[in-house]
């Protein structure tokens, strides 16, 4: 977790289109974030890991 105005590490991000991220009426940043993920039946922590690769093509969890 991070504090306000603190960007989390990329390994914790889930790719979203602009509409879902910030533009739509139910966008992630326009509502409670927990509610946002729950309504979409997505576990962001479980989903983020496989989406993150470094510049060499290794997933972040390949090193742990």
pTM score > 0.75 for this model?
A: no
For residues 1 and 64, the model is more confident at 1
- Encode 24-47: b = buried (16+ Cβ within 10 Å), e = exposed: eeebbeeeeeeebbeeeeeeeeee
CA 17 from chain center: how many Å? 11
Domain boundaries, the chain: 12-63
pLDDT digits (tens, 9 = 90+) for 38-60: 999 999 888 887 777 666 666 65
pLDDT digits (tens, 9 = 90+) for 12-37: 888 899 999 999 999 998 999 899 99
């Amino acid at each position: 977790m991070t504090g306000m105005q603190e960007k989390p590490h990329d390994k914790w991000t889930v790719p979203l289109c602009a509409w879902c991220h910030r533009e739509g009426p139910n966008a992630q940043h326009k509502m409670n974030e927990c509610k946002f993920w729950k309504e979409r039946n997505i576990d962001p922590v479980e989903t983020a890991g496989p989406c993150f690769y470094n510049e060499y093509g290794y997933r972040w969890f390949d090193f742990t």
